[in-house]
Structure 1
Amino acid sequence: MPFRKVAVAIITPRHTKTSFDLGLEMAKKFDSELTVIECMYKTPPKFYFFETKSDKKTTQNQTAKLKAELETWKNLAQKQGVPIKTKLALTDNISHWVIDYVKDNKIDLLIVDYPKLSMEEITLFDDIINVIHHKSHCHLLTTKSL
């Protein structure tokens, strides 16, 4: 069996359902376990040494939105009879977090979503995806919005 563990890493704030759908189909086809990871940068505090109430509220709102989305992914997979795990990654370094997760959990296939982005976003997310491509030791599939 080529892919026992399939993971979908959602690393951009604007993404499509394409990578999840593909991950779900691959997990069904190969009778694999599916993991969906929502990645988000920790928002640096406005003041260097401590978080304000506003900082905490912003993080809570972002986290709540991603958790709700993870529940949606989980429900869709369960309806298809696919075993699924979900993970929320709140991190300072998305690429290293994803690479470590793939290695630690022995992921066989990683699917990364790459939607159309603004010029500023392209600079940031190109770097993240390039690091993941070069340093993750598993099969990697990037879905693009054309």
Structure 2
Amino acid sequence: MKIEKILVPYDATPSSEKAIKKIFALIENQGSKVVLLSCIRDKATFGFFKTKSDKKEIEQEKNKAKKYHEIIKKVAEKQGILMNSKIIKSDLESQSIIEYAKKEKVDMIVMSRSKLSTHAEKMYYNSTVDAVFKNAPCPFLYIP
């Protein structure tokens, strides 16, 4: 089975950096394509509209993600890896990752967990990885 399209959710954490490095090492010169996906949290507002500061914050996050994507694309090019990137707004990252994987018919999703300190962080972030793992429409590779 040839894995042609690999989805790597990316949030600029050390764990997502680790997943990128591992998958690049595994697929170098294999002809596989990596899709780097960043989900920008579309924060809920108390009203029916977003304020200017809400919009500005989302735009800043989007620009930050674009910069990271460009850096990673350069690394991919040097290693002969085909890579696309996508930045989307999301209420729930795990659901967005799963929907994207289904829509784009990816062959594999690659993720790693962050080392988190507080109980709340562990519950929130680990649940994203768990939810994707449990509901992935394709094979899931966990990078410890």
Band the TM-score falls in, shorter-chain normalisation: 0.7 to 0.9
Q: Which residue of 1 aligns with 2:110?
A: 111
Answer yes or no: is the 8 Å Cα contact 2:112–2:142 preserved in 1. yes
1:141 aligned onto 2:126: no
- How many angstroms apart in 1 are the aligned matches of 2:78 and 2:137? 31
Aligned residues: 142
1:88 aligned onto 2:51: no
Alignment-mate amino acid for residue 110 of structure 2: I
- How many angstroms apart in 1 are the aligned matches of 2:9 and 2:110? 6
Answer yes or no: is the 8 Å Cα contact 2:29–2:81 preserved in 1. no
Answer yes or no: is the 8 Å Cα contact 1:2–1:30 preserved in 2. no
- How many angstroms apart in 2 are the aligned matches of 1:83 and 1:14? 22
Q: Which residue of 2 aligns with 1:65?
A: 64
Partner SS, residue 143 of structure 2: strand
Deviations 1:3-26 (A, max 9, x none): 111121125x63342111122223
Alignment-mate amino acid for residue 77 of structure 1: A
Q: Which residue of 2 aligns with 1:9?
A: 9
Identity across aligned pairs (percent)? 25
- How many angstroms apart in 1 are the aligned matches of 2:100 and 2:117? 28
**TM score, norm. by length of structure 1:** 0.86
Q: Which residue of 2 aligns with 1:54?
A: 53
Answer yes or no: is the 8 Å Cα contact 2:29–2:80 preserved in 1. no
Backbone CA RMSD of aligned residues: 1.8
| Unaligned residue ranges in structure 1 (runs of 5+) | none
Q: Give the drift of 1:89.
A: 2.2
- How many angstroms apart in 2 are the aligned matches of 1:59 and 1:118? 26
Q: Give the drift of 1:30.
A: 3.2
Deviations 1:72-115 (A, max 9, x none): 11111011121110011220111111111111222112111312
Equivalent positions of 1:116-135 (< 5 A) are 116-119=115-118, 120-135=120-135
Alignment-mate amino acid for residue 129 of structure 2: I
Answer yes or no: is the 8 Å Cα contact 2:36–2:83 preserved in 1. yes
**TM score, norm. by length of structure 2:** 0.87
Answer yes or no: is the 8 Å Cα contact 1:77–1:84 preserved in 2. yes
